[in-house]
A and B are shown apart, each in its own frame.
Chain A
Amino acid sequence: MKDYPGKILEINLSTGSISSRAVEIDLIEKYLGGIGFNARILYDEIPAGTEPLSEENVLVFAAGTLVGTPFPTASRTEASAKSPLTSQFGTSNSGAFFGIQLKTAGYDALVVKGKSLTPVYVAISDEEVQILDAAFLWGKECWATVDILEKKHYGAEIALIGPAGENLVRFASIENGRYDGWGRTGLGAVMGSKNLKAIAVKGTRGRKVHDSAALLEAVRKGQQLIKSASSYIAFTEYGTLNASIPYGKNKAISAHNFTLGTLPDWKEIGGRQIVDKYGSRHVACQSCIIACGHWTEIKEGKYAGLKIKDLEITPVMSFGATVGLNTEAIIKASEICQRYGVDMVSAGGVLGFAIELYKKGIITTEEVGFELDFGDDEAAFKLLHQVIDREGIGDILAEGTKRAAEQFANADRYAIHIKGMEIPMIDPRGRWSTWSLGMLTNIRGGDHLRCRNPVENLRFNDKDEEYMKERFGFKKPMYDRLDMPEDLKSQAIDLESDTVDIAVMSKWAEDLINLYNSVGICIRPPVMEKVGPTIIAEACRAFIGVDISAADLMKSSERTWNLIKLFNLREGEKVDASKFPRRFYEEDIDGNILNEEKIQAVLEKYYLVRGWDGRTGKPDSNTLVRLNLVDDLG
């Protein structure tokens, strides 16, 4: 296709100017879309040292390349800005139907700059883009806001912030409609700092595709691949909760702020059978054939009548394990987070942190205003509302665990974060894997979603004293089917010893997930297991009409990853920041403890594989040349 039909829409809230520019095919070839566009735009437009909550920060939403097609799970949109939580590249990914509306309105990306003096929201309907007064919405919780905006802008999809974003809570989320959201890295506070309450997008334009028949063929193949994945059935039934019990067994859940490893009744609280109890029907995002989400309803008891979409592992771990709540309270906590717009992982982390401080006597009943304990849902919610409203001690906690820990004596040890971002759910002391290393190397800090072995077998938990390997645990056909260049595959997986090289696999997994985030597909295990760059390349070729190979895609993805790393380094990331909280090296759970030096050795191997300097963490010149990044850095 000579003229790619997508555009980038740029809205400057300071000046009220609205403009759009064509997406150059060159940009797509180099960065694909989604997080790739975001990385390029943020690197170019945010000056070093920009204060995240200032006018100069730039917020970008970019739908993945394949969003708007029925390619399985192609629904996802990446939102990015400089993070108020980590002061580094802040980025988060969300599915549902925002992306397809943005795309069919004619835009691949939406860039929001500047800051409005008064609360506003943006309404986009194809070419018609308006900045409208949002005084009547300011202060309203998300669901009420969505109700109002859905009536006003019929058929539009809405990205919005709740009171937490307005109050600049540093881990506020941007909600995506009622039940989804761009949770992590505090992007909601960025929106709040711009006085931007919501973005309503409606697209009515059909999108022409370079080769419709070929794309449909790729869709058909993609569907078959995912359906043949070993985890497919389990995921259609129980979604992400499948991982809950294995992690509990391995004493690798974040129980009581990472002090217990597991909980005695974990199976009842967080096991996948809670889906049978509270979930009813499946809910899919656009184009998804897995539909891991569940329509969840509490029929009786304290929270009777509560209805939400999803019963996901993230809230179950955050509130069930970290804070120790029961299942119904977990569902209530999810609702609060969705209605008031906070990141569930960080919210759980902050609550767990506060409760542990309280139990250790570092904060007192006078400071909090009431008693705190693990498992006490009412106290937890009271505190959560204080955080959202920045009232009392909530005002300190709203800064995130890292900043809050600086306000109290000896609190540092209980702040469970990496690079300022609260760690989700899994405790690497209980299970060491590619996933664990990924938390250290993640470009957005303590997070589990950007690196995961595509063929992880949760049934095994073999300990490697050197931290270099994890168990592969599958038979040869799984190895054969894995879509990965043969030479790399043989480096990453050793069938003879049945092991996976964590450093090598980490790089591949990061690039693969980053590719997913670029083309807009989902990282659910059935996808990761089966959908590799080959089939994605087939779909991209049919969609864009550019001759692009699987290797090209992986290179683009790696380029993006490196660019984000360069962004972070420019913002002052230090190589020694890539380490776990002290607790993980100093306190054991049933004898499980991490060895800092040995993990450092794995990290160094990872840097080597990445082509980064081990001392500084910087991509070396060969890498920059290989990735054609030299010119782009200006």
Chain B
Amino acid sequence: MKRIVINTEACDGCGICQLVCSAYKAGQWHPALSRIKIKPLQEFGLNLPVVCMHCTYPPCEIFCVMNLIYKEPDTAYTLRHEEICIGCRACEIACPFSAAVWDPINEVVVNCDLCGGNPECVNYCPTGALVFMDISEAADKKRREAAGVQILELSRGFLE
């Protein structure tokens, strides 16, 4: 299962991913139209990219009043039938990651679809902050890197 794996340390906040995503997905250029978001944190000089995690049990799926969010059986991507969306924005609240993105042009909510397996944001990312890789590999890598670093109990994510 390949996913976008984020290496926060490497992100310098250039925002290229956002513009590329908006261009590919919305046909217009604006960070707000991007499925991936960079959240700047001045206090630590950090830039934190946030994108759909393709949760095993997506809360957005439960919240959708039109039942248009589904897990793609082969890849386990969380995808949407955007054409049915009535723009009620319930999924935006359901998602803790703010990864369900309001598209003001079409008045629907969208999320990252990993460009069908070739995410363009990753292709254009200049620093390697975004990597498209197998998540089991990534978890291994992260575990190794985090060995010895105490992470708050709270940091346990939502991924099963």
Contact = CB atoms under 8 A, between A and B. Distances in A.
Direct contact of A and B (CB under 8 A): yes
Interface of A: 68-70, 72, 97, 100, 104, 178, 203-209, 212, 215-216, 219-220, 223, 227, 280-289, 291, 293, 295, 297, 307, 309
Contact of A207 (B28, B42, B46, B124): B28
A616 B72 CA distance: 73
Contacts of A289: 14, 16, 126-127
A206 B105 contact: yes
B16 A287 contact: yes
Interface residues of B, number: 29
A284 B14 contact: yes
A353 B19 CA distance: 46
Instruction: Find the residue from B22, B26, B31, B44 having the highest chain A CB count within 10 A.
Output: B31
Contacts of A223: 124, 126
Contacts, number: 94
A282 B42 contact: no
Interface of B: 9, 12-16, 19-20, 22-24, 26-33, 42, 44-47, 104-105, 124, 126-127
A209 B9 contact: no
B97 to A, nearest CB: 18
15 contacts: A70-B19, A100-B15, A204-B30, A206-B28, A206-B105, A208-B28, A209-B29, A212-B27, A219-B16, A219-B20, A227-B126, A286-B15, A287-B14, A289-B127, A295-B45
Contacts of B104: 204
Contacts of A286: 14-15
Contact of A280 (B26, B28, B33, B45): B45
A206 B30 CA distance: 5
Contacts of B105: 206
B14 A285 contact: yes
Given A70-B20, A70-B124, A223-B124, A281 B29 contact: no
A216 B123 CA distance: 11
A205 B59 CA distance: 29
Contacts of B30: 68, 104, 203-207
Given A205-B30, A206-B33, A69 B19 contact: yes
Contacts of B127: 282, 289, 291
A104 B127 CA distance: 25
B14 A68 contact: no
Contact of B22 (A72, A206, A215, A280): A206
B27 to A, nearest CB: 6
A51 to B, nearest CB: 38
A219 B27 contact: no
Contact of B46 (A100, A216, A281): A281
